[in-house]
Structure 1
Amino acid sequence: MENSQEKNRLKFFPIMMYAIVMGLSGLTITYQKAALWLDFSALFGEVFMVLTTAVFAVVSLVYLKKFFKYKMAVANEFSHPVRVNFFAAVSISMLMLSIIYKESFPTISAIFWYPGTLLHFYLTMHTIAFWINKNQQLDHSNPAWFIPIVGNVLIPVAGVGFVDIGLLLYFFSVGMFFWIILFAVLLNRIIFHHQLAVKFMPTLFILIAPPAVGFIAYFKMFGVIDTFALFLFNLALFFTLLVLFMYKNFIRIKFFISWWAFVFPIAAMAISSMLIFHERGSLFLQLLSYVMLGAATVIVIIVAYQTILHIRKGEICIQE
C-alpha cells in the first residue's frame, strides 16, 4: 500500500517544483550581492549556493525518474495550457545557477549557462508555437506565462563574457518585447474578465520580475544607469509597491507550490535595489536594499516551512 502511494506521488510530482530552485537561487544571489555591496558575511551566499545546487539535483533526479516511469504523465504536463509554462523553470534554474557560480567558478557557470540557454531557446519557441497552434482560453492566462518568454532576459545576466553581446541583445529584445505584449493580455483578463484563481494569486509577484531582471541585464551589458535603466527600475519598484498595497489578497490563501513565485521576483528586486544603491548611493536606496533583502529572507522561511509541512502531510504530489 505504501509502495503504491509512493508511486502515485512520483506520478504527480509537478514540474512546478523547479519554482523552489528559482526561489532559492534568487535568495542565494541576493546574499552574494549583499556580501559585496552591504558588507554581509560571504558565508550566507556560500551556504545557500550549496543548498540551491543540492535542491536542483534532487528535483532533477526525481523528475527524470518520473519521466522514465510515467512518460504519459510528463507528456500531459507538457501539453497542459498552464503547466507547460513551468517547464521553462528548468532552464531558468540552470541560468540562475550559472549566475550563482559566475564570479567564483566560471567553468561551472558555463556548464550551466550553455545548455540552459539552448533549452530556454527551445522552450521559448515551443511555447509561442503552442499558443499559436492551440486556441488558449482567457481563463488560462496568468503571470506564469511570463516564465518561458521573459526568462530570455535572464540569459544576458550570466552570459556577458561567454558570447558576443549581439547574441545577448537578441534574448534581451525578445524577453522585453513579449513582456509588454503578455502584460497587456494579462491586464485585459484581470480587469475585464474573471479574476485569477486563488492558487495563481501568488504569481502576481511575477509582475515584478521582468523590469527588475531587465534592469540588471541592461546594466550587465552596457554598464550604465541611464534613462532606460531607471525606467525599468522604477517599474519594478511600482509593481513591488502594488503587491504590497494588495497584501490582503495574499495573507489568507491556501498553500500551493506556486507560493514559491513570491520569492524569485522579490529577490530580483532586492538585487536591483542593491545594484542601483552601489552605483548611485542614497539613503533611500540603501534602506530599500535592506528592506527587500529582509522581505526575501522572511518569505523564503515562511514558504519553505509551509512546503515541508505539506510534504509531510502528503498534500503536495497528489492528483488535482
Structure 2
Amino acid sequence: MTYTAARGAPHSRLEHYPVTFFASVMGIAGLSLALHAAENALGWGGVASNAAFGVASLLFVVVALGYALKAVRCPRAVAAEWHHPVRLSFFPAISISLLLLATCSLAGNETMAHMLWLPGMVLQGVLTIAVITGWIGARSFLAGHLNPAWFIPAVGNVIVPVAGVPLGYVELSWYFMSVGLIFWIVLMTLVINRLIFHDPLPGRLQPTLVILIAPPAVAFVAWFRLVGEVDAFARLLLNGAYLFTLVVAVQLPRIVRLPFAMSFWALSFPFAAVTIASFLYAESVGSVVHRVMGIGLLLVLIIVVAALVFRTLRAIRTGELCVPE
C-alpha cells in the first residue's frame, strides 16, 4: 500500500491517524481547569468543570487507544511522524495530556492525581530528552521547519509543577520548571527570528502561533505553586502572556478563515492557560480587573472550544480527517 492508496480504506485511515489528535485532549482538559478556576473565583458549583474533565478523560482514552492501534498495525507510520520535522513536536502532547488530567483530578481524587501525574512526568522527561536529542543530533532542520509547536516538547515541562508541588514533588518540579524556562528563552529567540526574517508559516501551521501564549501563562501558574506568592517575576510572566494574547488576537481573524486541520486545536489550551493565570492572579492580589479579564477570556475560550468541536465533527462526517496531507 502506498501513502496515497485507498483513501477510504480502514488501514489507510489508521495509517494517517495523527499524533496531533492529543492536542484536543489538552484543549478540553484546559477548559476544565479554566472552568474550575472560574468556579473558585466566582463561587459557582463544580458541575461544568467536572463535566469537561469527564469529556477530556474519555477523549484521552479514545485517542490513546486509536494511536496505540496505529503503533501496532502501522509502526512505520508512527516512525515517519517521529521523524517529521513538525509532528515530532506533538508527541509530548501525550505526556502533557496526562499531566493536565492529573491537575484536573487533584481537588477531587489525590490518588488518581498521583496515578496520572507520575507516568506523565516520567514520559515528559523522556520525550523532552528524546526530542532535544533529535534536534541537535545528526538530522538537519531548515528554518522553515521551525514553528511555535516546537515549544511543546521543552517548554511543556513547566506544566509539571502545577500538580507536582501540591502532590509533594517539589524538587522534581523545580527541575522541570528550570528546563522549561531555559528552553522558553532559547526557543523564543529562534521562533521570533523565524517569524520575522523567513517565509510566513504554512496555512496548517498558522494556528500554532497561539502557542506563544502558553509558556508564560503556564509558567506563571507553576511559579506561583513553587514560591507561594505573586512576586516580580510572576508579574513579568503574566504580562508576557497578555502581550502574546494581544498579538495573537490581531492574527486570529485571519487564522480562523483557513481550512480546518487538527492543528487548529492548538488554539484552545493557550487561551485556557491565560484564563487560569488571570483568575489565579485576581484571587491572589484581590484584583477586580484581572477577574473581569478572566471572565472575558473564559468566554473566548468557550467559543473557541465550541467552534473546534463543531469543525472537528464536521470534518469527521465529511471524511476530511486521517487522510494524507
Which TM-score bucket, shorter chain as reference?
Answer: over 0.9
Q: Pick one of 56, 59, 63 that aligns with 1:59.
A: 63
Q: Pick one of 234, 238, 247 that aligns with 1:233.
A: 238
Give runs of aligned pairs for residues 141-290 of structure 1, distance below 5 A: 141-290=146-295
Question: Following the alignment from structure 1 to structure 2, what is the Cα–Cα distance between the partners of residues 248 and 47?
Answer: 30
Q: Give the superposition deviation at 1:66.
A: 0.8
Q: Give the superposition deviation at 1:3.
A: 11
Q: Pick one of 103, 106, 111 that aligns with 1:107.
A: 111
Q: Give the superposition deviation at 1:115.
A: 0.6
Instruction: Report if aligned partners of 1:28, 1:100 keep a CA contact under 8 Å in 2.
Output: yes
Instruction: Report if aligned partners of 1:31, 1:40 keep a CA contact under 8 Å in 2.
Output: no
Question: Following the alignment from structure 2 to structure 1, what is the Cα–Cα distance between the partners of residues 49 and 6?
Answer: 38
Q: Pick one of 25, 38, 41 that aligns with 1:37.
A: 41
Say whether 1:86 aligns with 2:95: no
Question: Following the alignment from structure 2 to structure 1, what is the Cα–Cα distance between the partners of residues 220 and 166?
Answer: 18
Question: Following the alignment from structure 1 to structure 2, what is the Cα–Cα distance between the partners of residues 224 and 191?
Answer: 36
Q: Give the superposition deviation at 1:317.
A: 0.4
Question: Following the alignment from structure 1 to structure 2, what is the Cα–Cα distance between the partners of residues 241 and 55?
Answer: 30
Q: Give the superposition deviation at 1:4.
A: 6.2
What secondary structure does 1:45 align onto?
A: helix
Q: Give the superposition deviation at 1:67.
A: 0.8
Q: CA-to-partner distance for each residue in 1:144-170, whole Å, 9 max, x for gaps?
A: 000000010000001014344222111
What count of residue pairs does the alignment treat as equivalent? 320
Q: Give the superposition deviation at 1:41.
A: 2.7
Q: Pick one of 69, 74, 78 that aligns with 2:73.
A: 69
Report which stretch shifted further, 38-47 or 112-121: 38-47
Percent identity of equivalent pairs: 39
Report which stretch shifted further, 1-10 or 38-47: 1-10
What secondary structure does 1:246 align onto?
A: helix
CA RMSD of aligned residues (A): 1.5
Report which stretch shifted further, 246-255 or 46-55: 246-255
Q: Which amino acid aligns with 1:214?
A: A
Question: Following the alignment from structure 1 to structure 2, what is the Cα–Cα distance between the partners of residues 72 and 131?
Answer: 20
Say whether 1:14 aligns with 2:18: yes
Instruction: Report if aligned partners of 1:201, 1:249 keep a CA contact under 8 Å in 2.
Output: no
Q: Give the superposition deviation at 1:40.
A: 2.5
Question: Following the alignment from structure 1 to structure 2, what is the Cα–Cα distance between the partners of residues 6 and 135?
Answer: 34
Question: Following the alignment from structure 1 to structure 2, what is the Cα–Cα distance between the partners of residues 48 and 228?
Answer: 31
Question: Following the alignment from structure 1 to structure 2, what is the Cα–Cα distance between the partners of residues 65 and 186?
Answer: 34
The list of structure 1 runs, each at least 4 consecutive aligned residues, that deviate by more than 3 angstroms after superposition, is: 1-4, 161-164
Q: CA-to-partner distance for each residue in 1:281-319, whole Å, 9 max, x for gaps?
A: 233212101101101100000011000000110001001
Question: Following the alignment from structure 2 to structure 1, what is the Cα–Cα distance between the partners of residues 182 and 7?
Answer: 48
TM-score under structure 1 normalisation?
0.97
Question: Following the alignment from structure 1 to structure 2, what is the Cα–Cα distance between the partners of residues 208 and 3?
Answer: 36
Q: CA-to-partner distance for each residue in 1:196-255, whole Å, 9 max, x for gaps?
A: 111111111100000000000011111100100000000001111111122333232111
Specify every segment of 5 or more residues in structure 2 that has no aligned partner in the other structure, as ranges: none
Q: Which amino acid aligns with 2:101?
A: L
Q: CA-to-partner distance for each residue in 1:19-65, whole Å, 9 max, x for gaps?
A: 00000000011111111112223100111111110000000111111
